[in-house]
Amino acid sequence: MTPRAPVLMFLMAGCSGTSGSDAPSPQAGGSAGPQGQVDTALPPPDREAPGVSSSEVGAADAAPEPEGDHRALKRMSVAQTRTAMEQLSGGIEWAEGSAVLWESYAATLGVADHQTRLRDNLDPSIMYQKFLDDAAVQTCTAWVAGEADGTRTPRGFFVAIEPDATDAASVRANLVRLRQLVHAEQSGDTDPVVDGLEVVFDTVLRRTSDPVAAWTTVCVGLFTHPDFFTY
């Protein structure tokens, strides 16, 4: 018979590699993971649940007060803007040579052509503001300079003041007149718009010593103010 003692000794040696002190053991609070790794994550500490507190803040209406009736402001169309500026300035056109720029830039300004656009775009866009500023600069330069040197009559801009006068009372009186003319607003004892235009006039006058330049800047401010092109 073949002796069996060597076979038994081999099996005992193979089993001893997975037992004994060399085998990994889970640490306290952890558990053995795959491939002998140990999960050492600890459970979250006990936290006290957040409390709820209340305090008296006073009484309030169950429903807000109804708003008063009002309508949204509308912007003048390009045709209305052109007509108003030309009437106020005594017929001065925003033009370059023989080309009227209101017509040249009609498509850019959103004027309806009844082919690609059936209605005028009346949004107060940046493009409208840009072209309005260009038109105001050209119109005001010709209007103010023409009345200052006497080539444009009768006067429509210098109504309450002489073109070369700079005293505060006369400047204020002419600003109030222009506010009524361009914005159709009657100023009382105080008017923030007139106050602002007075600051503009004084600032430009100090920097240039030229009343015509100061009044031209005021004129541009009047035409580019929302009180002119909205209603």
The whole domain housing 105 covers 78-229
Intra-chain end-to-end CA distance of the chain, in Å = 121
3-class DSSP string for 12-70: HHHHHHHCCCCCCCCCCCCEECHHHCEECCCCCCCCCCCCCCCCCCCCCCCCCCCCCCC
Domain tally for the chain?
A: 1
pTM of the full predicted structure? 0.68
SS3 for 100? strand
Nearest to 102 by CA among 85, 119, 115, 90: 85
pLDDT at 58 over 80: no
pLDDT at 54 over 80: no
Q: Is residue 33 part of a domain?
A: no
Q: Is residue 161 part of a domain?
A: yes
Q: What is the mean pLDDT of residues 50-64?
A: 68
Confidence of residue 155 (pLDDT cuts 50, 70, 90): very high
Q: Is residue 29 part of a domain?
A: no
pLDDT higher for 229 or 24?
A: 229
Q: Provide the pLDDT for residue 144.
A: 98
pLDDT per position as a tens digit, 93-136: 999 999 999 999 998 888 888 777 778 878 778 889 999 999 99
Q: Provide the pLDDT for residue 189.
A: 83
pLDDT mean across residues, the chain: 83
pLDDT at 28 over 50: no
Q: Provide the pLDDT for residue 227.
A: 95
Q: Is residue 144 part of a domain?
A: yes
pLDDT per position as a tens digit, 127-153: 899 999 999 999 999 999 999 999 999
Confidence of residue 35 (pLDDT cuts 50, 70, 90): low
Q: Is residue 180 part of a domain?
A: yes
